[in-house]
Structure 1
Amino acid sequence: MPAPDDLFEMRRLEALSNTIFGVAMTLLAYNLPKASGLSAAPDWTELARTYAPHVVPLMLSFIIAGVFWFSHQRRLAMAPQAGRGVVFLNLLFLLSIIVLPATNGLYGNLRDSTVVAVLYGLHLTVIAALNAVLWLLALGGQRHFDTLAGAFLPVVVFLLGTATAVVAPAWAPYFWSLAFAAPLLGYFSRRRREA
């Protein structure tokens, strides 16, 4: 255990993380097509053809970032102090969030590409794995299986989705969307334990 003067108050990291998540989630929309690429009087078909391929990845990435923001906030509240190693691991986690608009932009423009779909899936897996490791550290050996199940489910789901992207990139988002079940899994596990 770190000495008291080596502990870092996580509320400072919380302020930084709120800013990082807010900026990253806003920048997800940066790669949407511009109106200048449309005809002077676009019809519904042209709008759908232009925007639909970009809106689905944007919504997926926004919701994924939101779920990880929620998890991050809960984790910081559970462990209000941490040593330098945990702080640096949190910064690495936040770095993986900062990169999300870039991989989302690639995926939104080239989602039929196997390489791009796998890259996006690997990025989601890294975010989920860092989150899971941080939960393990925050719990400090306590056996909160409901919390750990909710933290590790996205890792498994993103790995399955990434493996699917290798052979069928169009099917990968369906697997990745299953990660949204993680908060529900944790909720139902807690209710069952409390009953």
Structure 2
Amino acid sequence: MYPKNRLDALTDGIFAVAMTLLVLDLHIPEETAVGADEASLLRALAALSPKLLPYLLSFYVLGVSWLSLIKARSRGETVGEPYAKWSLFYLLFVTLVPFSTVLMGRFTSHATATVLYAANIGAIALIAFVLMSLLPDPVRDAHWLDRRVSLLLLLASCLLTMALSFVVPGQALWAFALNVGGGLLVRLYRWLAPAG
């Protein structure tokens, strides 16, 4: 058995570092800064636009993933070996997000970059779903259902992004917009599901 609070501390640190590293690829080239006029600065900022969507998307996915982790509560203070090992595997993919984001930002119109990026995010969603099933004595409240639906929707949007990357690689990331409807799906499920 492993103390859950130690695993949570490691998770917090890795998420903080990964979210901070995301911004490192958003920089104005040094040659632009030397003697730059207003127009060249605006051109340099516009040149960052292909990198901005992957950055914002990655920050959002990591932020929401972290928030979901801290809301998924367990009545136990320890976790078993399977949960601990899957957590490390989960954190491995979290640490890869800055790399896959840089790759996506630099090669936006390449199917390979889009597939690797979506596969990275999809692995995080899939492993988070596994972790939920391994969490000892979880509190199965409204958040529990919301998280499960959101993870499945994120996984579906990753698969759709991968498929679209071979058809419209420069636009495939917009499939992640499906995740905005996650809360609506949960409310619809609660409305349609029988009480009890």
1:19 to 2:13 alignment: yes
1:110 to 2:107 alignment: yes
Shift of 1:136: 2.2
1:182 to 2:182 alignment: yes
Residue 48 of structure 1 is matched in structure 2 by 45
Residue 10 of structure 1 is matched in structure 2 by 4
On the 8 A contact 1:54/1:109 being kept in 2, the answer is: yes
Cα 1:184–1:84, aligned 2, differ >3 Å: closer, same or farther? farther
Residue 132 of structure 1 is matched in structure 2 by 129
1:155 to 2:155 alignment: yes
Q: Which has the higher helix share?
A: 1
On the 8 A contact 1:158/1:179 being kept in 2, the answer is: no
On the 8 A contact 1:67/1:180 being kept in 2, the answer is: no
* 2-structure distance, mates of 1:42, 1:28: 27
Residue 36 of structure 1 is matched in structure 2 by 30
TM-score, scaled to structure 2: 0.82
Please, what is the CA RMSD of the aligned residues? 2.7
Residue 63 of structure 1 is matched in structure 2 by 60
- Of 60-69 and 140-149, more deviation after overlay is shown by 140-149
* 2-structure distance, mates of 1:27, 1:147: 26
- Write out per-residue CA displacement over residues 130-149 of structure 1, whole angstroms, 9 at most, x where no aligned residue: 11111122277979655422
On the 8 A contact 1:8/1:82 being kept in 2, the answer is: yes
* 1-structure distance, mates of 2:64, 2:183: 8
On the 8 A contact 2:114/2:173 being kept in 1, the answer is: no
The AA in structure 2 aligned to 1:177 is A
Question: What's the secondary structure of 1:167's corresponding residue?
Answer: coil
Question: What's the secondary structure of 1:158's corresponding residue?
Answer: helix
Question: What's the secondary structure of 1:170's corresponding residue?
Answer: coil
Shift of 1:74: 2.1
Cα 1:66–1:180, aligned 2, differ >3 Å: closer, same or farther? farther
Unaligned runs of 5+ in 1: 1-6
On the 8 A contact 2:109/2:170 being kept in 1, the answer is: yes
Residue 88 of structure 1 is matched in structure 2 by 85
Report % sequence identity: 27
Shift of 1:190: 8.6
The AA in structure 2 aligned to 1:111 is T
Matched residues, number:
187
On the 8 A contact 1:28/1:58 being kept in 2, the answer is: yes
The AA in structure 2 aligned to 1:131 is A
Unaligned runs of 5+ in 2: none
The AA in structure 2 aligned to 1:104 is T
The AA in structure 1 aligned to 2:125 is A
- Of 146-155 and 99-108, more deviation after overlay is shown by 146-155
Residue 78 of structure 1 is matched in structure 2 by 74
Residue 172 of structure 1 is matched in structure 2 by 172
